[in-house]
Amino acid sequence: MKRLTFLLILVSAVIIGFTAGTYVGLGLGQDRAMALDGVEAAHYSAFMNMQLAEGTDEARETAIRGFLEVNERRRERRSPHFIQNVYATDAGLAWVRLAALLKKRGADEEAQVALNQAQSFCPLTGWQECSIETFQEYAKRFDQWGVFMEQVN
């Protein structure tokens, strides 16, 4: 009887320990994933901004496309820190920048597709008025004045 009681206590302890460990581990894993999402987004944003300021047109296009992919992955994960308006604004600005580069190299049809993509984010921005022109105006302003409102180039 003592052995049976001991085994029941041991099995119960293992089950409780496993359950608690799994719960804590999953929670820490989610926290880590959210932190890594933030780091990845900040990295790609900084990389894109650097390429916009200093890169060739090809490097700029690659950076914008990479940023759009990272931004889309963050949207799909839907963390508690995810804000739809920020995603939509970042995406809209990136798409109009990409459209300008595509138009510059003569890819007019692709440029129009990119502009349509930008326009599709207008309802999600939360802005009172939004259009392709609005995105273009803000992209031009940010690219000309930089993040810290210091004129670039």
Estimate to the nearest angstrom the gap between the alpha carbon of 29 and the chain centroid: 19
User: CA 136, CA 94: separation in Å to the nearest integer?
Assistant: 10
Single-letter amino acid code for the residue at 137: E
Nearest CA to 19 out of 8, 30, 11, 9 is that of 11
Q: What is the pLDDT along the chain (153 residues), one digit of tens a residue?
A: 556 555 556 455 556 655 655 555 555 555 555 556 667 777 777 878 888 888 899 999 999 999 999 888 887 776 665 678 888 898 999 999 999 999 999 999 999 999 999 999 999 898 999 999 999 999 988 887 755 555 555
User: CA 19, CA 21: separation in Å to the nearest integer?
Assistant: 5
Q: What is the pTM of this model?
A: 0.71
Beta-carbon contacts of 30 under 8 Å, excluding residues fewer than 6 positions away, are none
What's the pLDDT at 108? 92
Domains of the chain, by residue range, sit at: 38-145
Per-residue burial over 143-153, b if 16 or more Cβ lie within 10 Å, else e, is beeeeeeeeee
Q: Alpha-carbon torsion 116, 42, 78, 87, what sign?
A: negative
